[in-house]
Structure 1
Amino acid sequence: MTLEDSFEKLEGSDTNNWNYIQTKRDYRDLECFNTLYKKNYKHQFNSNPGFKIPKIIHLIWIGPKPFPSGSVENIRTWMAHHPDWTFNFWTDRKRLPPCNGMQVKQLKDFHFE
């Protein structure tokens, strides 16, 4: 199954999960999602740069406590699966990023508007 499959196939109409679709509202919601899917389908495979999401992950960690060690493995996994993405680590104080290869950004350097 790929994103190029029909909405009906992607929504699981041919699976056991379809048993959870029971009420009129369920079907009405699916019809609404189907309409949105069809309206936006062309943008999924559009090579126009105006439709691309930047390949940047922003992580923000503020305060005196260290970044949670339990979250580091998640970030390593994201970085391994997306080696061509940029990973920014925003912080309010001088500290090392949780993973090598991340760019450290200081909150004070960001100009809020």
Structure 2
Amino acid sequence: MAELQRDRLLSAITTWMVRLESYPGWKEWKRRHLVSTLHFDDRLLMRDEIESEFKFSEEMEREHAVVTKYLGLHETISSLKECEFYFRRYPFRGLPVTRHHHVTNVCEMYFGNYGDSAFK
């Protein structure tokens, strides 16, 4: 039952993302933002500055926030499930890796790479 609900929600998000692509100015802003990111230090290519944030309508802003937070939570769950594999992978036969160092490394790797972006 929960899997069916999750699939329905992800389908609704996909539909919303298609709608987002037709939002006035969004595709152009994303394109300029990508070029700006790729050439952030090339002043010749950066003829005009772009706004750091795209301005949505209030309703679209709320929808965007809900979708991005949900996708962040979805990614966090997936990452935690992957960590479960790494935790169970110990011991590394014949290698000088203590259980403490292994768990510390996995936790630091998870929270260093995923923790910051998943909870924004």
TM-score bracket, shorter-length normalisation: under 0.3
TM-score calculated relative to the size of structure 1: 0.25
The structure whose RCO (Cα within 8 Å, separation 6+) is larger is 2
TM-score calculated relative to the size of structure 2: 0.24
Quick check: which one's strand share is greater? Answer: 1
Quick check: which one's helix share is greater? Answer: 2
